Amino acid sequence: LRFDLAQFELAAAMLPQLPPSSDAEIVFSGRSNVGKSSLINKLCNRKALARVSNTPGKTATINFYQLPGAHLVDLPGYGYAKVSQGEKRRWANLIEGYFESGRRIALVIQLIDMRHPPTADDLGMLQYLAHSDFRFIVALTKSDKLKPMQRKKRMEEIEQELSMIEGVAYVPFSSLNGEGAAEVRDWISKAVEE
């Protein structure tokens, strides 16, 4: 897959704005500030394809990026405390509607901050994915922030924390030093080819 040719296509704030489902879709999901924009930029070798934001929770749109033969789909980051109940409901309807509208979803990449236990929202998302038919992997973000001993400890803890999704691949990922980028690209290419 030519990740370097990725281009922004559109931002959907409402279900009717979703583009027609044609190419295979690769979906990125995670709480705001987990490093989702940075991961997408790293995969595509771009500085500002997806916006890296220091004011999390502002964009509640599903953003589509087109590459030859596939779409990258950036779900709005969840779990931002300052968002109103109404906005949270709108977000939930948008995500649920997206997943349940029969699109060609080839792979979901669920991002979890490697340094911390998953949040209730993370676990909810993982439960949803585990009970769905979607293929998914977990990217453990900001791996560069852990020293070797901390990392070893976290990996053991994560094993326990995510025990309900046995058999799902974890990929430690750093948008700073590029760890995991090649592996995530491989998972994506494999999923799109099948």
By CB under 6 A, tell whether 12 contacts ligand GDP: no
Residue linked to tokens 């025990």: 163
Q: Is 110 in the site for ligand GDP (CB under 6 A)?
A: no
Binding segment for ligand GDP (CB under 6 A), chosen from 126-134, 142-150, 163-171, 180-188, is: 142-150
Asked if 119 is part of the footprint of ligand GDP (rule: CB under 6 A), the reply reads: no
**Structure token pair of residue 55:** 């004011």
Q: How far apart are CA 180 and CA 112, in angstroms?
A: 14
Contact 108, 136 (CB under 8 A): yes
Contact between 175 and ligand GDP by CB under 6 A: the answer reads yes
CB of 107 to ligand GDP, least distance (A): 18
Stretch that binds ligand GDP, among 18-26, 46-54, 81-89, 118-126 (CB under 6 A): 46-54
For 110, other C-beta atoms within 10 Å of its C-beta total: 23
> 128 φ, ψ to 5°?
-55, -50
**Cα distance between residue 24 and residue 83, in whole Å:** 31
Q: Which residue is nearest to ligand GDP (CB)?
A: 35
38 binds ligand GDP (CB under 6 A): yes
- CB of 127: closest distance to ligand GDP in angstroms? 20
With left for phi above 0 and alpha for psi between -120 and 50, is residue 167 left, alpha or beta? left
Question: Which residues here bind ligand GDP, judged by CB under 6 A?
Answer: 30, 32-38, 52-54, 56, 77, 141-142, 144-145, 174-176
